Amino acid sequence: MANLIDGKAVSAKVKAEVRDEAAKLKEQGISIGLAVVIVGNNPASRVYVNSKKKACEEVGFNSYEYALDENITQQELLDLIDVLNNDDKVNGILVQLPLPKHIDENAIINAISPDKDVDAFHPYNVGKIMIGEFSFLPCTPAGVMELIDSTGVNISGKSAVVIGRSNIVGKPMSMLLLHRNATVTICHSRTTNLLEICNAADIIVAAVGKANFVTGDMVKEGAIVIDVGINRLENGKLCGDVDFEAVSKKAGYITPVPGGVGPMTIAMLMKNTLTAAKLKANIK
């Protein structure tokens, strides 16, 4: 039976470290602020935004929420971002996605100052991740790396499979594993020999958005399996991209859903915001 990787415990450790550093900065007169922009009334987005506000309170950050009408124009949103880019109280800017269809998400992401891009979605920061000279890491992949590290297993030399090629998780995830000297294979909907590839993997990161997609026969004995997916079944229950019951009988380590990757994403957002504040104050 697999060892359970407790995302709540690992995220609490990360947030405690952030809180301690933030308290030391406060003693030097440096306050940290995160601006969160939400457009419209998407219930899932509201849950995420509330979680981020709560996390800010936990670590001692100032939280600034901008809840905008779903009919706001793209230019009005760009104008707000410009204001936040120039606001010294704001160290990080997060625009909650998805945005309404009449707003170009890329235009909004590109408008955020790279120095305040705590989601690490701006092309400038994405490029820095590619060459390994990054200041910020995308929150979910960074959280996954913390979870893998919590097992004590050395990533270097391991065979890692990332299932999913999104700009938010799959692609940056593969780069972070590569920077740690894993041999990385990216799989996706057109991959023809997925079973064979996964069976050879020491580490599997599932980020495909399909319930119970990774089955027991895809996982070799003792592998680390990280489940990024979160799907709601017809009965209302949440499940991941991994068939937890079957895979946990073979894996060495596995994350649950919920309580695995989810808490880490917000913890790493706090860490990125702290990093932004330190960079601005020229503190290493």
Q: What is the mean pLDDT of residues 207-224?
A: 97
Quickly state the pLDDT bin for 31 (edges 50, 70, 90): very high
- At residue 4, the 3 state secondary structure works out as strand
pLDDT > 90? residue 284: no
> Among the listed ranges 93-102, 157-166, 229-238, which one has the minimum average pLDDT value?
229-238
Selection from 197, 205, 160 nearest residue 182 by Cα: 160
Quickly state the pLDDT bin for 15 (edges 50, 70, 90): very high
Catalytic residue among 119, 202, 227, 241: 119
In percent, the amount of the chain with pLDDT more than 90 equals 95
96 is catalytic: yes
Q: What is the pTM of this model?
A: 0.95
- At residue 248, the 3 state secondary structure works out as coil
| Dist. CA 100–CA 249, nearest whole Å | 42
pLDDT > 90? residue 98: yes
pLDDT, tens only, 191-206: 999 999 999 999 999 9
74 is catalytic: no
Whole-number average pLDDT of the chain = 96
As a CATH number, domain 29-113 is: 3.40.50.10860
Backbone angles phi, psi at 282, to 5 degrees: 55, 40
pLDDT > 90? residue 181: yes
Work out the number of other CB atoms within 10 angstroms of the CB of residue 200.
Answer: 12
**CATH 3.40.50.720 segments of the chain:** 139-262
52 is catalytic: yes
pLDDT > 90? residue 185: yes
**CATH 3.40.50.10860 segments of the chain:** 29-113
The whole-number pLDDT of residue 44 equals 87
| Dist. CA 193–CA 229, nearest whole Å | 21
The whole-number pLDDT of residue 232 equals 87
pLDDT > 90? residue 236: no
Name the β-bridge partners of 37. Answer: 66, 95
Crossing angle for the helix pair 139-150 and 261-280, to the nearest 10 degrees? 110
**Regarding the domain delimited by 139-262, which CATH topology (the fold level of the hierarchy) does it fall under?**
Rossmann fold (3.40.50)
The whole-number pLDDT of residue 234 equals 86
| Dist. CA 25–CA 43, nearest whole Å | 35
| Dist. CA 41–CA 56, nearest whole Å | 22
Catalytic residue among 52, 116, 171, 271: 52
**Which helix (H) or strand (E) covers residue 11, if one does?**
helix 7-27
Q: What is the mean pLDDT of residues 247-266?
A: 97
Q: Where are the beta strands (DSSP E) in the chain?
A: 3-4, 33-39, 62-68, 92-95, 159-163, 183-187, 203-206, 224-227, 231-232, 238-239, 253-254
Quickly state the pLDDT bin for 247 (edges 50, 70, 90): very high
